[in-house]
Amino acid sequence: MISPPMADVVLTTFNARYHHTSFALRYLKANLGDLAGSCQILEFDLDTRPGDALEQVLLHQPRIVGLALYIWNTRQSLEFARMLKALRPAIALIVGGPEASYEHDAQPISSVADYILCGEVDLAFSELCQAIMAGQRPPQRIIQPDPPDLNRVAMPYHLYTDDDLKHRTIYVESSRGCPFSCEFCLSSLDVPVRRFPLDAFLAEMQKLLDRGCRQFKFVDRTFNVEISHACTILQFFLEKLKTKELFLHFEMIPDRLPEQVRDLLVKFPPGSLQLEVGVQSFDQSITERIGRHQDNARVEANLRFLREHTHAHIHADLIAGLPGETFDSFAAGFDRLLALRPHEIQLGILKRLRGVPIARHSDAFGMIYSPEAPYEIMENALIDFATMQRLKRMARYWDMFANSGNFRDSLPLLWANGSPFHLFIAFTDFVYERTGKTHQIALPRQFELLWDYLKHPKIAGRSLAADYLRPHRRDLPEFLKPFAPPIAPRESLLPTQRRQHRHRA
């Protein structure tokens, strides 16, 4: 067996899923200077046991281990850190990431790590590693550097491997920071928006294209806040779409869509563009309370424009549990958003992330959050625990039945004669009563549950059979065979386009 190369620095984390890539670790390596050649990136996912991950790390005999901490990997990271320091106490353990950057005294991992790096540490990590390698360990354990000048930060795109480009999510960013102050979001703590030099950024995108990259997920928090910047990037990719099949994901401010942006968005062909639109709440008093300034009339007009005049796949976000939100006001906001026909609605549950200002409302609104990551709201003065549990189940089932696109024709039969929210949450109660779970419900079982719940077998049967067969499935359940439509020919689709395709007529 070939021994792995020795490395002075190993950068590691537990990603939520295999197909995710750690953008942060690649930034750290790209900015390590002379140490980059003696640095290895080792990525694991949540299915990897911390002991197995540690074994792989120690094979490289590092002097420094950098560990990225997020809300989804706190348990695995703490176990990994404790085992590392028990086995090899001389190795310097540096922990960073959003979950490590705030409220250090409440973090168990703070007592294990040698250093905690807070915030954007692209350059600070390199400086710390250089000092450790020189035998000059800084005395302070918690290091809070100023945000770096992005003109000095090396972009990391060359560190995506060919395998990454073929099989995993490729994250890119043209800017950092957010101009808004939404109190539930870590981006509200960032300094004003800063941008990478645009010519250099587009040159890096061209290199990725030349290497065969066809899917780009932008992580800019407010891609369309600076219109000329956004338009230049959109125009760049529109030119590439003339000769290449591409998929692009952008996060957009919902009430900011001027003519220059509209004129470009209408030109993107079907299957090439996904827009994540953070609505969060339609209740003006709530959005003002949490520092979110949003023109709801413009939000509605812009969403209508995107659905009626573009081929973009619209993914809209709504949050349950905000201070002052009632069950009925959330229901009204959901129905208002669904009427605008986004392809997907992500029903999020409010989280009290470490460091965010939303905590200031806890006493006034009786906000009680789970003490365990991801710190979701459990109840408040207006929505009790049992009702919040119903909303959490609804969020999971909405993703399963609606966002999946598997029930495009049949699911709307649920709310043909009433409030979509109230009728779907009644279906949520039915599914949970029948199954007792919110995950690992096989697709044929999902179809059977909806079939059992709908009261018009003939109409439901035709719609369910068409939905089941649309993505070229052939194993039609027995109860749907009398309603089978003609089988359509197959289409060739990129993996990221398949879910979108199920939403399209």
Mean pLDDT by 10 residues, the chain (505 residues): 83 94 97 96 96 97 97 96 97 94 84 94 97 94 94 97 95 90 77 90 98 96 90 97 96 91 96 95 92 92 96 96 96 97 96 89 95 94 97 98 95 94 98 96 95 83 91 86 72 59 60
pLDDT at residue 357 in the model: 86
Q: Cα–chain-centroid distance for residue 441?
A: 23
Per-residue pLDDT, 1: 53
pLDDT for 180: 79
Structure tokens at 472: 């070229």
Contact (CB, 8 A) for 367 and 361: yes
Query: Which two tokens mark 461?
Result: 């049967």
Phi, psi of 472 (to 5 degrees): 70, 30
List Cβ neighbours of 181 (8 Å cut-off, separation of 6 or more): 188, 291, 292, 357
pLDDT for residue 490: 53
Question: What pLDDT does 486 receive?
Answer: 66
Distance CA 59, CA 38 (A): 14
The strand pairing partners of 368, in sequence order, are: 379
pLDDT of residue 50: 97
Would you list the DSSP string of 142-187? EE-PPPPPTTTSPP-GGGS-HHHHHHS--EE-SEE--S---TT-GG
E strands, 229-309, in order: 247-252, 273-280
Q: Are strands 344-349 and 215-218 parallel, antiparallel or unpaired?
A: unpaired
DSSP states of 397-455: HHIIIIITSTTTTTGGGGGTTS-HHHHHHHHHHHHHHHHS-SS---HHHHHHHHHHH-S
User: Pick from 268, 323, 313, 332: which is nearest to 292 by CA?
Assistant: 323
CB atoms under 10 Å from CB of 197, counted, come to 12
9-143: CATH number: 3.40.50.280
| Residue 317 structure tokens | 């976000």
Give CATH 3.40.50.280 domain extents, the chain: 9-143
CATH 3.40.50.300 is the classification of domain 160-383: no
Using the structure block, give the residue that is written with the tokens 């984390």: 13
d(CA 317, CA 282): 11
CA distance 501 to 478: 25
Backbone angles phi, psi at 135, to 5 degrees: 75, 25
Which two tokens mark 309? 């005049």
Delimit the CATH 3.80.30.20 region(s) of the chain.
160-383
Q: In this structure, which amino acid lies at residue 462? A: R
CA torsion angle 195 201 202 207 (round to 10):
-160
